[in-house]
Chain A
Amino acid sequence: MSVGIEGYGVYIPYFRITVKEIARMWNDDHKTISKGINVIEKAVPDMDEDTATISVNAARNALNHSGIDPKNLEAIYVGSESHPYAVKPTAVTVAEAIGATPYMTAADLEFACKAGTAGMQMVFGLVKANEIKYGLAIGTDCAQGRPGDALEYTAGAGGAAFIIGNEAPIATLEGMASFTTDTPDFWRREGARYPSHAGRFTGEPSYFRHTISATERLLNKLNLNVEDFDRISFHQPNGRFPLSAAKILNIPREKVEDSLCVVKVGNTYSAASMVGFARQLDLAKPGERILLVSYGSGAGSDAFSFVVTDEIENKRDRAVLVDQYISRRKELDYAMYAKHRGKFVME
């Protein structure tokens, strides 16, 4: 059997704040904003949730879905730009909480919104080299936008976990390709509370160039055309960019639309393309081919091609669907949201 996804799981916090409510706070026109970014609301973590807790809850769902013993996981990588500690890995807390320790390797990864897919590449490499039997790659973020900044409308929270192996994959890996350059579109210096961005610069030379170049590179490598893909998940910093990328590549929007969790949960950063991929897997049928392309500012994109196997039906009843998390929601007003996100500085 070839290497692929043995199981997956997501976690999205329970609370939401709508674009309308944020716009009310800043006296913006919510209809114009919502239409412009194609986002209705975003997920807000509870006061006691962070990247570690979201990762653990996603990893538990992935473990249940895969049906494997956590002791057989020999590598855990957590990609995020919101690790709770500057020094002390999130991955060890995940490993301990799901019972995978101690005979395993672990590390935290950082590359803006593509650190999670960087982890997937590393685990695929280790499994393909027969160094490990199973590994776990997680992408999670609790994104923070400066109050009043455009990013505040989209900065969401969520996580996605993928268990990789070659025992009974629900989707096998056909190939992967990346595109990477030094492009300063978005950054946060050590100790800075909120990120900075280069405004409109975020589009053309960064998101679109990298997403499209990585996709084209993968197509060339595998000798495939975009028509060969049934389902696609691009990185989704908002609900517009993935649809625009599809248009540039001549991909019908229907192939991307099912992945657009950003409309209801916001931009989950390192988790965004992976949560979209998880939703595509929730809906996929055996034989379908899925394209996953991440994007991380700074900048780079990782592209993957998967083919769904019959095994997806055997594991279906153990999956906690992305839609179960999307529909499980309670709205907060701006004051409660500010309290939840620690926007009141108390010291």
Chain B
Amino acid sequence: MGVAQSWRTQSSRYRLAGSKCNECKNYYFPVTVVCSNCESDNLEVINFKGTGKLVEWTRVDEGASGFDHVVPYYFAIIQLDEGVRLSAQLVSVMDESKITDGMPVRMTFRKLMESTREGIIEYGFKAEPVNPI
């Protein structure tokens, strides 16, 4: 992700900003301008509370460039309490055998990417178990 693109997606990464359709009450992540459910453009930007549950997860053993030193790590699909789903890294896991589908998670602020020692540091949300595992 380039510096400019990173900056444009900042509100979603930093504050979990999304959209709420004022007509049919559907939620979207990230921010969108037209509701794909009712086609209304009467949407407002909201920040999700950041609590939800784990829907699916996978273990990554071979990291992409910039992640090779942190393997293994976990990647998850999260369903937020407002109903939308998003993908995020799952952190604060010491015992993989205790990860369970449906377990409560919350979003926490972390470094997402630091490709070189001289480049920009990307920050944003990751998920962690509400009850330590």
Interface residues of A (CB under 8 A from B): 14, 46-50, 52-53, 56-57, 60, 84-85, 93, 96-99, 328-330, 339, 346-347
Contacts and interface: CB of A to CB of B under 8 A. Distances in A.
A52 B14 CA distance: 12
A28 B114 CA distance: 35
B132 A330 contact: yes
Given A99-B15, A328-B132, A93 B123 contact: yes
Secondary structure at the B interface, as helix, strand, loop or mixed, is mixed
Given A48-B111, A48-B112, A49-B110, 7 more contacts: A14-B92, A48-B70, A50-B121, A52-B111, A97-B123, A98-B15, A328-B132
B126 A97 contact: no
Contacts of A52: 111, 121, 123
A49 B111 contact: yes
11 contacts: A14-B92, A46-B110, A47-B70, A52-B111, A52-B123, A57-B108, A97-B15, A97-B109, A97-B123, A99-B47, A330-B94
A48 B88 CA distance: 14
Contacts of A57: 108-109
Contacts of B47: 99
Interface residues of B, number: 20
Contacts of B109: 53, 56-57, 60, 97
A241 B91 CA distance: 35
Nearest to B50: A60
Contacts of B26: none
A189 B92 CA distance: 33
B69 interface: yes
Given A14-B132, A53-B109, A48 B14 contact: no
A97 B14 contact: yes
B32 interface: no
Residue among A48, A329, A330, A346 having the largest count of chain B Cβ atoms under 10 Å: A48
Contacts of B112: 48
Contacts, number: 53
Nearest to B131: A328
Interface string B1-34: 0000000001000110000000000000000000
Contacts of A14: 92, 128, 132
B70 to A, nearest CB: 5
A57 B14 CA distance: 11
Nearest to B112: A48
A48 B63 CA distance: 14
Contact of A53 (B15, B70, B110): B110
Nearest to A331: B94
Contacts of A329: 132
Given A46-B91, A47-B70, A48-B91, A96 B14 contact: yes
Given A14-B132, A84-B121, A96-B14, A48 B69 contact: no
Nearest to A346: B69
